[in-house]
Amino acid sequence: MKKTDTIIFTHGDSDGVCSGAIAKSAYPDARVYFTSPVSLHNRLDMAEDYDNIIICDIAVDERSCVNLYNKINDIASRADVTYIDHHPLPRMCWDEPWFYHDLNTCAAELTYKVFKSRLERDIRRIAVYGAIGDYKDNTPAIKKWTRDWDKRSLYFQAGTLIQALQYVGRNYDFKREITDPLSTDLIPSEIPNLIPYAKKASRIEEELRIRVKELVHPLHSIAYVLDPEGYLSKSAIYAASYGRKGIGIAAEHRNNKAAYDLSLRSRNSSVDINLLLRDIAPQYGGSGGGHPMAAGARIPEEKLDAFLQEFDRRVNLAETKQGDL
């Protein structure tokens, strides 16, 4: 039997954790669970007995979007639903009162705005952490909110949280443990284990940076690294840096999937890697998507090289067209 009327589903990265903490600050007795775009449909079975369902920072998976839409609409007929997201949508539009969507903010900022009437003003600080973690700290609201604190302290606290979450990976039990104190506006450096975990993550990242510098493979317009033995997203950043290219890709082999998981990071604002991935990945039996400058994909192992060559060709083509304007 449930002890609360509210259940929160959110993503496990820093923006998702901050979004979940903000939603929990609005509903202190809520239960928080971490999930992903491909798992959300099944996860929603857990919400059957709840009167209030909140979903934060979960991208809409293109392959299951129709079924997910129908399922949420069914739930919304008997319960309150709030779905908050900032990822690019599939080729469809969800025009429902329960769906809050803004491509120009992080999910944490949007979550604060949705539940503002239920929140203390200082909870905006958690939204700032989420924005820093999601590279969305340049929006008008975040720049305005940042002025209420020492910016250097905000970045220290955000960095502590981001690095610690990177270190614990998919340890969702730990992430649930830190969501409670974070929702009360306890600064990350005072939450048990975050400082030592952040320090360990930073040491691993420095070793990773040096490794990627040695292993990076530059192509014409992208640079990639295979099996960097470390954080994929950070590996992609360093691949772009040391490959001297606008886009970096880090690929890690998954033996049980016979595929590579990819993280892509862009320094080239003229190329939307989300749109490119959604177009190219299915041609090679894979899937992918995300944001214009940060995305992920899964590509079958035997198709990886061909995918990388085609992605490089398409990026080069997009850059050439942009240069002709």
The pLDDT value recorded for residue 4 is 65
Secondary structure letter of residue 92 according to DSSP: S
Q: What does the pLDDT look like over 267-294, one tens digit per residue?
A: 977 899 999 999 999 999 998 888 899 9
Q: CB within 8 A of 279, min separation 6: which ones?
A: none
Q: Which two tokens stand for residue 69?
A: 């839409």
Percent of the chain with pLDDT strictly greater than 70 = 97
Are 183 and 239 found together in one domain? no
What is the C-alpha separation between 263 and 36, in angstroms, rounded?
16
Secondary structure letter of residue 221 according to DSSP: S
pLDDT of 65 higher than 90: no
When pLDDT is cut at 50, 70 and 90, the band that residue 323 belongs to is low
Smallest CA-to-CA distance from 251 within 265, 272, 267, 268 is with: 265
Are 190 and 53 found together in one domain? yes
Q: What does the pLDDT look like over 108-161, one tens digit per residue?
A: 999 999 999 999 999 999 999 999 999 999 999 999 999 999 999 999 999 999
**Residue 200 domain flag:** no
**Residue 204 domain flag:** no
Phi, psi for 214 (deg, rounded to 5): -85, -30
**Residue 206 domain flag:** no
Are 146 and 219 found together in one domain? no
Smallest CA-to-CA distance from 181 within 168, 194, 170 is with: 194
Are 227 and 152 found together in one domain? no
Are 268 and 157 found together in one domain? no
> Could you give the C-alpha distances from 258 to 40, 56, 235, in angstroms and in order?
24, 31, 21
Q: Which two tokens stand for residue 191?
A: 């939450």
Domain assignment of residue 251, given as a range: 215-322
Q: Residue 305 sits in a domain of what CATH number? A: 3.10.310.40
pTM of the model: 0.88
Average pLDDT on 53-70 reads: 89
When pLDDT is cut at 50, 70 and 90, the band that residue 29 belongs to is very high
User: 291, 253 in Cβ contact below 8 A?
Assistant: no
Are 235 and 116 found together in one domain? no
β-pair partners for 84? 56, 100
